[in-house]
Amino acid sequence: MSVIKRWIKIFITAIFIFILTLCLLEVLIRVFRFPHLDVEPRYFYIHDDLLGWKLAENNHVVLHTSEYHTDVQTNSQGFRDREHSQIKPEGTYRILGLGDSFTFGFGVEGEETYLVQMEKKLNDMTDRKITYEIINMGIPGYSFLQESLLFKEKAIQYQPDMVMIGFDVNDHVDSLEPFHVPYDGFLLRAESVQQPFIKERLFLSRHFKSVHLILRGVELLYEYLHSGDETSASKRSQEALNFVEKRLQIMSQISHEKGIRLVLFFIPHRGQVHPGWFKEPSFYRYFDDLEKRLSEICAQHGVLYIDLLPELLRVAQKGERLYFKADGHWNSRGHQVAADYLLGELKKRGIL
């Protein structure tokens, strides 16, 4: 056998083994439902000139992974909520909720989100002289920059009495440069859109979970190799928090002029609540420093700050699971604990 024929045979054998391995991997993934390998529905996100993206209006989709299966219905404004008039009804105390996927309610049904639970509890305990109305304007993937723009350009048009901002751990850093961008009906990581064969890779990811797993592994490896050391991460976080302070100052000024009560609460990472997630103490220091600086910024600009971490820790230490293990968002119990504690703090401080 000639050298060329031998190499051709090796090449064909290698291709066959590779395809067979992919097929076996595909079967294993579909049978055992590996966590968080489902692709979100196409055109769930659409382009927006000001905000980068928003949710498609009047859209019904099903979000599912191995951990949850939930229905999502958006209204005519692209929010996961019922229809609301911009003109506030007489005798109504209106609260607006801004945030990312935690506020939106990834992994839970609409009525399980902390905002809906708060609205129900408020109206159940009131003497009906006043009606409480809470509007969910949470959009998955939004940074604090996008939330502040949404506040200024749309939220205040709904005449809110209070605006609550759920601040996730990456909201400040994502404000410096987009972490996600809309592409072909999907929300993708910004760096992946710049890579070659994006359309082909997106097609394969949508139809073959084994390919999606491999590409996701490559993305995680890329993030790890380019994550930088503790010093650079801390420096970038501080830069981002300086940006957040400027945006929050603008929001505070607008709120003061319009008589709106502005509230911000920090949403802890699951690793802060459920021990064993972080292997290095530097991660805990990073989040502790972030929370401390956020509380200082809020105090300086007259924004009410609520710390959820002690209450989430107290409940978790009883053995209750508050976050999805793979997905990382609050489960229904996590939303319930958040709703009860936020409501309790607002009443304790005389806000409600």
Residues 10-69 have pLDDT tens digits of 888 888 887 788 777 767 766 666 555 555 677 788 989 899 899 999 999 988 887 888
* 298 pLDDT above the threshold of 90: yes
| Prediction pTM value | 0.84
At residue 333, what are phi and psi to the nearest 5 degrees? -65, -40
Higher-confidence position of 197 and 145: 145
Dihedral over Cα of 150, 245, 119, 107: its sign: positive
Task: Give the model's confidence band at 134: pLDDT under 50 very low, under 70 low, under 90 confident, else very high.
Answer: very high
pLDDT value for 224:
57
Task: Give the model's confidence band at 188: pLDDT under 50 very low, under 70 low, under 90 confident, else very high.
Answer: confident
Neighbours of 31 (CB within 10 A): 8
Query: Are residues 160 and 85 in contact, defined by beta-carbon separation less than 8 angstroms?
Result: no
Architecture in CATH of 45-348: 3-Layer(aba) Sandwich (3.40)
The DSSP secondary structure of 186-250, one letter per residue, reads: EEEEHHHHTSTTHHHHHHHHHH-HHHHHHHHHHHHHHHHHTS--HHHHHHHHHHHHHHHHHHHHH
pLDDT value for 5:
77
95: left (phi over 0), alpha (psi -120 to 50) or beta: beta
Contacts of 340 (CB under 8 A, 6+ apart): 117, 121
